[in-house]
Structure 1
Amino acid sequence: MKILMVHNRYRSTAPSGENRVVDQESEALTAAGHTVRHFERHSDDIEDWTTLKKATLPARVVWSRTSRQDLVRELFRHRPDVVHIHNTFPLLSPSVLYACRLAAVPVVITLHNYKLLCASGDFFRDGDVCHDCAGGNPVPGVLHRCYRGSALATATTVLNTRGHRRSWRDLVSAYVFISESQRRLMSGMDFDPERTFVKHNMVPYDGPVVGDLAAPRRQVSYVGRLDAAKGAPLLMQGWDAYRASAGDDALRLVIAGGGPMLDEVTAWAAERPSVELRGLMSKAEVFELIGESRAVVLPSAWEETFGLVVVEAMAVGVPPLASGHGSFPDLISDGVDGALFEPGDPASLGKLLLDVDADPERYAELGRQARSTYETHHQVDRNVEQLLEIYRFAVANPVTITRR
């Protein structure tokens, strides 16, 4: 099959799980014998634009004539069987949908976030979950300046999504949600249910599992962005709650990552000998850290559409400890291959950490079951076949456009 991946790459200063997913799916499809090409734009390029060109960015977000023209040429030159769109913001715009219609190539889109309904893309505002725009009315988001604290930027984002609402519903042959919870939360888009699919993100891993490694150290780890949505405040509060009740020979916490709360987390960790900061790490280093840990903590305050770190921990054979909302209950069977705690509750997280400390054998068994879950549900070959089935559906069932 000939596949064209369409993606606006995120800034290199903010490591992106979406970029990784695009690369991993492309590599796996190529390894399976399919032809994969890329049509991309890079947000990094905006830094080199002139001031005058930067002033045109809001208009380009809503409609990029250049992207449409360039994609049309690409489609007629290489004639892919299917176009797989991942991200169109900010440089591609929904104009790429019209390029695909002109070339009569079916479109599959993976929805990585909640952007089509939520200006910030995460249903998260002022430190808490927010569903004010989930029904399809974007006005609350504009009033609260939910995208980068700017009324103009938020309005532009809303025009990009709400203004093209019919396009997103009429010009796409198949929608891929990355968790069942995401599909439920995005029901306000009113997509044709027969064209919606759930396929988890691909998480390749062929390294050693805990059973092949030395016994995990007396530590738990956190891997991810240090910000409010990812739960950095809850991580700190939950750790303090745990340490207040723990004995002298207690667990340590190792934190890998960076982000807007790095300075705050660094200051907090400096006063706590039980906490170690390692900064940004390579993927190989992340897997090594996970393998050294008794458990991995995922305290996300927003309802994550998918948890890459959940599945990465499972791949290594380490149980994830996660907030009990968003995609996490879809991925983790509580008490079987990981554990869930009450979202936003430091005491609940602290209590769970005490249990990890007190019962290492139980969590070793959860880790073994986590590895079994990975082998059953998250192997690359199975994921590739799911993706190909969606492509085949889109090719066999292209949308019929009714012009009004």
Structure 2
Amino acid sequence: MRIGHYDARLWAQGGIASYVRRVGQAQARTGHDVVFLCRASEGDAPSNTLEVENDRALFSAAQARGLDVLHLHGPVETLPEDRVPTVRTVHTNDASCPSGSRYLKRTGQPCDRDYSVAGCLWGHLVDHCGSRRPHNTWANFQRIQQEQTQAAALPTITVSRFLKEQMIRSGCPAETLRVLHSPAPTLSGTFSPPPRRTPPHFVFAGRIEPQKGLDWLLRSLGAVDADVHLDVAGTGDEGYLDTLDQLVADLGIREQVTFHGWLDEDAVYALIEQARGVVVPSVWHEPAGLVTLEAAALGRPVVASEVGGIPEYATDAFALRVPPRDTEALAGAITTLARDPDRATAMGRRGHDQARSEFAMDRFLRRLDAFYDDVRSSTQQPVSS
């Protein structure tokens, strides 16, 4: 099958790039002819990346290359009627939240309200969940309308049940939506238990921004009833990083925290392998939280917030989940893994097994191929929920 994956900024750092690279490479290994399409290449884009100037050029290139399926990972401005079979994966909250954040910056809590123009405009102005600049606010509401229109027009995969439910609540038709959980990375090697070094290390990996909850995690370290060390892999806005650095100083935990900056995938994996566990303290509704699957694939237990799609990935088998901003609960979960290496090992083994079964790449690809076949065999392109 000839498959094209498209997003305007396909290779920008982030979860979508990791997902598309992982899936596209796995498809190629099974014999599919895969091409990546984007507006502009960034970073270490694969050699089979094709730049297109606009949507017209995108769909023309899909026709010219004889694609059997064009797989979109972001919205497009226009959908020509004579397009090749086209599907979409929704990775974000943009189809149910104008700002895409589902995060109330004023209170530091996840947003659970249904989408409405009046309610979400109030959120922008009062809860600071989106820009209060009129031009940006207008653009946010235009984007959600675009997302909802395309969700009605295209067979659409959501990366969690949470996303699907939120999209339906916001007005998207259920009959075009299908849930397909993302795959874990395929890593070689057998299960290796977490090291028993003292103090045990825990890892935070991801973008460093307020909704990721790193400030909450840092404040929780002082309540952990064990000597632990936190490794932070990631980067973000310099001003916010300075704020966190000052927080570490104010809390007196400088010796307990190491900021590693941005690390490539292999370096992040190496850091996780040396850890007792991985902490995902998000305080917004994460659509999926793929770092939980990376931890599982490496045989490490997870402590994670009970928000968004995270519980669908960080299952009870290998994760301890806590309410967002509950410092006592977060500290208690970290303490449990720090003081009980046998439990951490057992949880890590279950996660490792689950990454190779329920979240295995070959299982994911079989379901994705079946989805493609459904779309290709349908002249109208709708799929069952």
Percent sequence identity is 24
RMSD: 2.7
Write the deviation string for residues 357-397 of structure 1: whole angstroms up to 9, x where unpaired. Answer: 22111111111111111111122211111211111111122
Of 80, 86, 93, which aligns to 2:73? Answer: 86
In the alignment, what sits opposite 2:248? 269
Unaligned runs of 5+ in 2: 44-51
In the alignment, what sits opposite 1:4? 4
Of 267, 273, 293, which aligns to 1:291? Answer: 273
Aligned residue type for 1:69: R
Write the deviation string for residues 228-247 of structure 1: whole angstroms up to 9, x where unpaired. Answer: 111112111211222xx44x
Superposition deviation, residue 25 in structure 1: 1.5
Write the deviation string for residues 282-334 of structure 1: whole angstroms up to 9, x where unpaired. Answer: 11111111111111111000111111110000001000110122122212333
CA contact (8 A) 2:90 2:156 kept: yes
> 1-side partners of 2:171 and 2:197: how far apart?
47
Of 72, 87, 91, which aligns to 1:108? Answer: 87
The answer to whether residue 202 in structure 2 is matched with residue 220 in structure 1 is yes
Unaligned runs of 5+ in 1: 46-64
Aligned residue type for 2:205: V
Alignment TM-score, normalising by the size of structure 1: 0.82
Q: 3-state DSSP class of the match of 1:9?
A: coil
Would the alpha carbon gap of residues 290 and 122 (structure 1) be closer, same or farther in structure 2, given more than 3 Å must change?
A: same
> 2-side partners of 1:164 and 1:357: how far apart?
43
Would the alpha carbon gap of residues 354 and 76 (structure 1) be closer, same or farther in structure 2, given more than 3 Å must change?
A: closer
> 1-side partners of 2:197 and 2:7: how far apart?
39
Would the alpha carbon gap of residues 69 and 233 (structure 1) be closer, same or farther in structure 2, given more than 3 Å must change?
A: same
1:296-307 residue pairs with structure 2 within 5 A? 296-307=278-289
Q: 3-state DSSP class of the match of 2:210?
A: coil
Alignment TM-score, normalising by the size of structure 2: 0.86
1:148-297 residue pairs with structure 2 within 5 A? 148-162=131-145, 165-169=148-152, 171-172=153-154, 174-208=155-189, 211=192, 215=196, 218-242=200-224, 245-246=225-226, 250-260=227-237, 261-270=240-249, 271-272=252-253, 273-297=255-279
In the alignment, what sits opposite 1:123? 102
Q: Which moved more, 1:136-145 or 1:285-294?
A: 136-145
CA contact (8 A) 1:209 1:316 kept: no
> 1-side partners of 2:41 and 2:102: how far apart?
23
Aligned residue type for 1:17: G
In the alignment, what sits opposite 1:53? none
Would the alpha carbon gap of residues 251 and 208 (structure 1) be closer, same or farther in structure 2, given more than 3 Å must change?
A: farther
Q: 3-state DSSP class of the match of 2:73?
A: strand
Superposition deviation, residue 132 in structure 1: 3.9
